[in-house]
Amino acid sequence: MNVCVLTANKKDCLSSLAVPAKTEAKSKALKAKKAILKGVHSHRQKKIRTTPTFRRPKTLRLRRQPKYPRKSAPRRNKLDHYAIVKFPLTTESAMKKIEDNNTLVFIVDIKANKHQIKQAVKKLYDIDVAKVNTLIRPDGEKKAYVRLAPDYDALDVANKIGII
């Protein structure tokens, strides 16, 4: 679509193509400006090779898809609460600990750690434990000194268990 206007002694025609050409020229100029400011000959930094041999990269790594399970059933935890605490000690020094220090003394499994002993005593006797001290006796057994929380009395718990 051409729009022509007749002026004094010449004919001016405005074409519809003239307007987009102007915006196109402007965008082209902006691109050129950006290229001049930034530079078009940018090159990536080369990767530094540390060995003279070229090794192909391991590209496809598939997940394992076993035909059958390697274990038929999950292993049973051999160190349950009943296996951890073997029996309470009833020696004279253990009785003194009960009376004076609010502490119960147990013989426990050699493989049990302090956290496991604490959880086992909590579950078996329904008491809160403040802390656990352990030692290994000369005969190879592990002895655990279980200090009870202040709101529990070791004498009452010992009576309930049947130590006294």
In tens digits, what is the pLDDT along the chain, a chain of 164 residues? Answer: 565 666 666 656 655 555 578 899 999 999 888 888 877 666 778 889 999 999 999 999 999 999 999 999 988 889 999 999 999 999 999 999 999 999 999 999 999 999 999 999 999 999 999 999 999 999 999 999 999 999 999 999 999 999 88
**What's the angle, vertex CA 111, arms to CA 105 and CA 114, rounded to 5?**
50
Distance CA 97, CA 95 (A): 5
Name the token pair of 108.
């426990």
Residue ranges of domains in the chain: 81-157
Q: Residue 47 is encoded by which pair of tokens? A: 């990767």
* DSSP assigned state of 150: T
Q: What pLDDT, on a 0 to 100 scale, did the predictor assign at position 37? A: 82
Calpha distance 120→79 (Å, rounded): 10
What six digits make up the tokens of 5?
A: 């206007």
CATH of region 81-157, choose from 3.30.420.40, 3.40.50.9100, 3.30.70.330, 3.40.710.10: 3.30.70.330
Q: What is the DSSP letter of 16?
A: T
Q: How far apart are CA 129 and CA 103, in angstroms?
A: 9
The pLDDT score that the predictor gives to residue 7 is: 62
Which pLDDT belongs to residue 13?
Answer: 61
